Amino acid sequence: MTVKMTLEVGVMRVLIVLVGLAFLAAIPPNAWAKDGAPSCREASKQSLDNHLTEEKLIWSQEGGQVRDVQYQSIYREKTNKCFFKLNFKIVKPGELMSTYYLVDAFENRIYAAYLAVNKRAGSTTKEPPLNCTYGIAYDEKTACTTKAELDGFVDALIAEN
């Protein structure tokens, strides 16, 4: 790996952490109300707006654009949990990246994060993800190597809640 590529990976990881922290700080306290599915939809929508504002700002400074945004809120009545899935693409000159987050919108907690380069100009090999982490607590997070591994954690977490 070249020094430039190593530096780019380091910058990407720092950006992911900063976006996550900004995302957590941006949710208003009234979005955490625990009164069911309507509140979950509201919290998820607020999360989407706040998160995308931050993502667009950060990626525009890197010469990229956020595209193909997809999100889904999932309310679990038995535990009063509100999960929020967010997928989008980042288009930069010569690169296409995929991003995914799983967030508890009521607790304002990120359970899973993923960032991978789908396509890089001049590259013929599949690169490992730039970031692939999951866990219940930040200090107990697990690094993963594939999106399938991350999806397994997400599916199990949602099923048991």
Which of 67, 72, 103 shows the shortest CA–CA distance to 88?
Answer: 67
Domain ranges within the chain, ordered by starting residue: 3-160
Report yes or no: 115 and 86 within 8 Å, Cβ to Cβ.
no
**44, 45, 48, 91: which is closest to 66 by C-alpha?**
91
- The string of pLDDT tens digits covering residues 33-63 is 444 677 899 999 988 888 889 999 999 999 9
Q: What is the pTM of this model?
A: 0.72
Say if residue 16's pLDDT is above 60: no
Least confident range from 32-36, 112-116, 126-130: namely: 32-36
DSSP letter string, 54-78 = HHHHHHHHTT-EEEEEEEEEEEETT
Q: What pLDDT is stored for residue 22 in this prediction?
A: 44
Confidence of residue 24 (pLDDT cuts 50, 70, 90): very low
CB-CB contact of 48 with 71 (8 Å): yes
